[in-house]
Amino acid sequence: HCEVRASSMDQMDGGGAGRRVKVVGKVERLDGQSLTYSEFVDRFMKPNLPVVLTGLTSSWPSCEDWTFAGPDDRRRPNLPFFAQNFSSPRVQVADCSAREYTDHKRLEMSMQEFVDHWVRNSNTVSSSGHGEASSLYLKDWHFVKEYPDYVAYTTPPFFVDDWLNMYLDSHPMHRDSDIANYKNEVNCDDYRFVYIGAKGTWTPLHADVFRSYSWSANVCGRKLWLFLAPSQSHLIFDSRNLRSSVYDINEDVSEKQFPEFNKAEWIECIQEQNEIIFVPSGWYHQVYNLEDTISINHNWFNAYNLHWVTTKLQKSILKTSAIYVIILRRFVNATWQQIQA
Ligand SMILES: O=C(O)CCC(=O)C(=O)O
Ligand SMILES: [Fe+2]
């Protein structure tokens, strides 16, 4: 049958006409000030459902310090402030125009280099008369860990029962300042991140690490989220290679490789400035920055999703050990043949 394909711009503008994926619902939005913790547990954390919460960031210093006032009450990233005050020598940056396996190609650069690249690109005027936004997306920046004395935000009460970060805080991995340990240290030590991306940067389809929960707050900017419930996650896997899933729901997804993809029913959300989204365990999601966006994001688990995390870890251990068995068998065979030769 013939289907009109939405361009990626339609998708990124949240436009409906000709959309390619089937969107069947929107994420609920609630005032976080009047929601109680037990309501949050009963309605979202326990049943593992997404929600957007408003009104929880008004006292965050980051919302002022990291942004400029822009038109229509929309704030814009204050990049010089980052270059001046948080001049990290190495930040992880995804190049959203380049795929590497299941993710974007990752680069490392200094904060200053990231800011310079952004400014250079926004000053370049293309034939359409608009600046070409940078395709570089600063991700997984361990901000709290790198700048512990600067209080950028306070974790909303709904997300403080966090065994993952609590555990990692009390079991520091490498505390020496040896540069060789730097990369290892920032990768292992917590799951509290800052993301900075120009309009058009995006995150490919994925479910979060160990099937943890995540929450993500827009300090400024807007994001378009597309979610798939865990009961449907089998629909986005390769029919022959169950380890491989769809990378970009907006591209021409091969029907041969992913025969059930068109059956998937997506839940959509446009997350505005200062709103916080709760991402439940095991929900696949793809995310677009509809404006230049700064977000703060934690991954965590607790009693309500521990079963998701342990099941996932058990499966990964089984898979990894199966791979080792195959490699070991090949090694033994090769060695045996060498001995016989
Ligand atoms: O904001 C993004 O680009 C991705 C965030 C995300 O995947 C998450 O918070 O789980
Ligand atoms: Fe995620």
In SS3 terms, 73-130 reads as HCEEECHHHHHHHCCCCCEEEEEEEEEECCEEEEEEECHHHHHHHHHHHHHCECCCCC
Work out the pLDDT band at 324, boundaries 50, 70, 90: low
Work out the pLDDT band at 127, boundaries 50, 70, 90: low
Sort 188 into a burial class: Cβ within 10 Å, 0-12 / 13-18 / 19+.
middle
Work out the pLDDT band at 12, boundaries 50, 70, 90: low
Q: For position 336, what pLDDT does the model report?
A: 75
| Maximum alpha-carbon separation in the chain | 78
Q: Interior CA angle at 123 toward 117 and 125, to 5°?
A: 120
To test the pocket of ligand 1, the residue of 212, 228, 287 to mutate (highest count of ligand atoms within 8 Å of its CB) is: 287
Sort 339 into a burial class: Cβ within 10 Å, 0-12 / 13-18 / 19+.
exposed
To test the pocket of ligand 1, the residue of 285, 288, 289 to mutate (highest count of ligand atoms within 8 Å of its CB) is: 285
**DSSP letters along 240-259, please?**
S-TT-B-S-TTS---TTTST
pLDDT at 179 over 50: no
208 Cα to the center of ligand 2, angstroms: 5
Mean pLDDT score, 125-134? 67
For residues 313 and 18, which has the higher predicted lDDT (pLDDT)?
313
Q: Interior CA angle at 282 toward 275 and 324, to 5°?
A: 135
**Strand locations in the chain (E):** 22-26, 29-31, 51-54, 67-69, 75-77, 91-100, 103-109, 136-141, 192-197, 202-206, 213-220, 223-228, 265-271, 276-279, 284-289, 293-300
129 Cα to the center of ligand 1, angstroms: 30
Q: How many CA atoms lie within 13 A of 219 on its CB side?
A: 26
Q: Which of 20, 6, 4, 22 lies closest to 268 in space, CA to CA?
A: 22
Q: For position 58, what pLDDT does the model report?
A: 96
For residues 124 and 32, which has the higher predicted lDDT (pLDDT)?
32
Q: CB under 8 Å to 308, separation ≥6 — which residues?
A: 48, 211, 212, 281, 282, 301
Q: CB under 8 Å to 290, separation ≥6 — which residues?
A: 12, 13, 14, 199, 221, 222, 223, 224, 270
pLDDT, tens digit, for every residue of 259-304?
999 999 999 999 999 999 999 999 999 999 999 999 999 999 999 9
For residues 313 and 41, which has the higher predicted lDDT (pLDDT)?
41
pLDDT at 99 over 50: yes
Work out the pLDDT band at 327, boundaries 50, 70, 90: low
Mean pLDDT score, 87-100? 95
pLDDT at 60 over 50: yes
51 Cα to the center of ligand 2, angstroms: 14
Euclidean distance between CA atoms 195 and 217, whole angstroms: 10
Work out the pLDDT band at 174, boundaries 50, 70, 90: low
Q: How far apart are the first and last CA of the chain?
A: 59
Mean pLDDT score, 208-223? 95
Q: Is 3 helix (H, G, I), strand (E, B) or coil?
A: coil
Q: Which residues pair with 293 in a beta bridge?
A: 197
- What number does the ligand 1 atom closest to the CA of 216 have? 9
Using CA atoms, how far residue 68 sits from 76, 77, 115, 125, in Å, is 5, 6, 15, 22
% of the chain at pLDDT higher than 70: 86
For residues 146 and 129, which has the higher predicted lDDT (pLDDT)?
146
Q: For position 170, what pLDDT does the model report?
A: 85
* Residue 236 near residue 261, CB atoms below 8 Å: yes
Mean pLDDT score, 44-52? 97
Q: Is 148 helix (H, G, I), strand (E, B) or coil?
A: coil
To test the pocket of ligand 1, the residue of 106, 214, 289 to mutate (highest count of ligand atoms within 8 Å of its CB) is: 214
Q: For position 209, what pLDDT does the model report?
A: 86
pLDDT at 178 over 80: no
List the residue whose alpha carbon is closest to atom 3 of ligand 1.
203
Q: For position 317, what pLDDT does the model report?
A: 81
Residue 235 is given by DSSP the state G
List the residue whose alpha carbon is closest to atom 9 of ligand 1.
216
- Least confident among 244-248, 291-295, 298-302, 334-338: 334-338
Work out the pLDDT band at 86, boundaries 50, 70, 90: very high
Work out the pLDDT band at 194, boundaries 50, 70, 90: very high
- What number does the ligand 1 atom closest to the CA of 279 have? 10
- Ligand at minimal distance from the CA of 197 is 1
- What number does the ligand 1 atom closest to the CA of 277 have? 9
* Residue 282 near residue 48, CB atoms below 8 Å: yes
Work out the pLDDT band at 183, boundaries 50, 70, 90: very low
Which residues does ligand 1 sit against, CB inside 6 Å?
A: 195, 203, 208, 214, 216, 223, 279, 285, 287, 295, 297
To test the pocket of ligand 1, the residue of 279, 301, 305 to mutate (highest count of ligand atoms within 8 Å of its CB) is: 279
pLDDT at 7 over 90: no
216 Cα to the center of ligand 1, angstroms: 7
Residue 42 is given by DSSP the state I
Q: For position 210, what pLDDT does the model report?
A: 86
339 Cα to the center of ligand 2, angstroms: 49
List the residue whose alpha carbon is closest to atom 10 of ligand 1.
214
Q: CB under 8 Å to 155, separation ≥6 — which residues?
A: 162, 298
For residues 315 and 264, which has the higher predicted lDDT (pLDDT)?
264
Residue 276 corresponds to which tokens in the numbers above? 């916080």
